[in-house]
Structure formats: structure tokens, C-alpha cells
Amino acid sequence: MERIRAFVALNLPVPVIEQISKLQVELGAEAERVGLRVAWVPATNLHVTLRFLGEMPRETAFALRDRLAAGLAGRRSFGLQVRGVGAFPELERPRVLWVGLRDDEGALARLAAEVGGWVDELGFAPEPRPFHPHLTLGRVKEGAGDGVGDGAGDIGTRWADHVVGPTVPTEVVLYSSELQRRGAEYTAIARFALQRSGRGER
């Protein structure tokens, strides 16, 4: 039985992805200054993870596709603010650099909870960690970053309140992920367009 790695993601419009890519370039210069070697996520792979699923039989992915199609039919989009640079586990010892999403109305959190519920219905173990809305910008390379806590903290100080701007998500996507030598390669299994909210999209 064929198995695939998969996840459910939220995609943002191209113009805001382009702005995030510019942010990556600026952060790249800062990271180099403080001695961080970062593998930056390509613009085509920038997304908001709603639920990571790991490996599963392909048939299970198709069952999830059908459940997402039913649950997301007619779903309207919503507004978000892309702002604030941070890191996991912390900026003083970063392993993952991210840009945050401000979800004032709670719509993104509700969507993530719904998706999580549909996933759990198919027998997946519940996600133990709380949802933290963000887009991963880059991953610090193994062996890099040791002893650069002060410099990495400077990045947090300078960029913690950086505002990319408002945006309205365009679609939810069920992706498969295949690890290649050059990095992860994502393939859309199914796309679910969100209806335009009538707000100013970017």
C-alpha cells in the first residue's frame, strides 16, 4: 500500500507572499551578520500549516480530501495581519524563524480547530501542541547558531513588531510532501478555494 507524507495548509495571495520573500532577504542579511546560517523556505513553499499529518496510506489522504471538500464548501475567507518575526524554540537559540499572523477575529484559529476535528475523525492522534499561526521563513542549519544568542536576540528586538500588512487567505490545500536533496517538494492533492470576503484583498 502506497504511503505519503501530507499536511493541510492555508495559502495567502501572491502579493503578500512577495512581501514575505522580501522580508526573508532582509532577515538574511541580519542572520549573516550574527552568524546564523539559515536555509530559507522558497516562496513557492510559503504557507500556513493548519495540521501536519505525517505518513499515511494514500487512500486515507483521499478520504481526508473528501471530508475537507464537504466541510469547506462555501467557506468565506477572512482578514489577517502578517506581522512580527519570531523563532522556535526561542530567538536566543533559534531553530526555526517565522513571521506571525494576527487573527483578531479568531477565524483562523476556528478553521484550524475544525480541520483538526476532521483529521481526528479519521483516526489520527490529536495534535498535543496549541495552534500557533505563522509562516515558516527558514530553518537554522545544523551546527549553526551556537553562541549567537545575543545577536539572534537583536533580530527579535528589531523585527518583533515588523508589519508585512493585511491579507485575506485564498485557499486551503491538502499537500503531499516529498523530501528531496534540494529540500521538501510539495504537491497539491486537492485545493479548496475560499470565497472572497469583500474586504480589501492583498
**Is 35 within a domain?**
yes
**Is 10 within a domain?**
yes
Residue 200: pLDDT band (50, 70, 90) is very low
Does residue 144 surpass a pLDDT of 60?
Answer: no
107-120 mean pLDDT: 98
Contact between 163 and 202 under an 8 Å Cβ cutoff? The reply is no
pTM for this entry = 0.91
| Domain enclosing residue 24, as ranges | 3-193
pLDDT at position 155: 80
Number of independent structural domains in the chain: 1
CATH of the domain at 108: 3.90.1140.10
pLDDT at position 201: 47
**Through-space distance between the first and last CA atoms of the chain, rounded to whole angstroms:** 42
Residues labelled catalytic:
47, 134
Residue 147: pLDDT band (50, 70, 90) is very low
Does residue 76 surpass a pLDDT of 70?
Answer: yes
Does residue 134 surpass a pLDDT of 70?
Answer: yes
In 3D, which of 88, 60, 78 has the Cα closest to residue 10?
Answer: 78
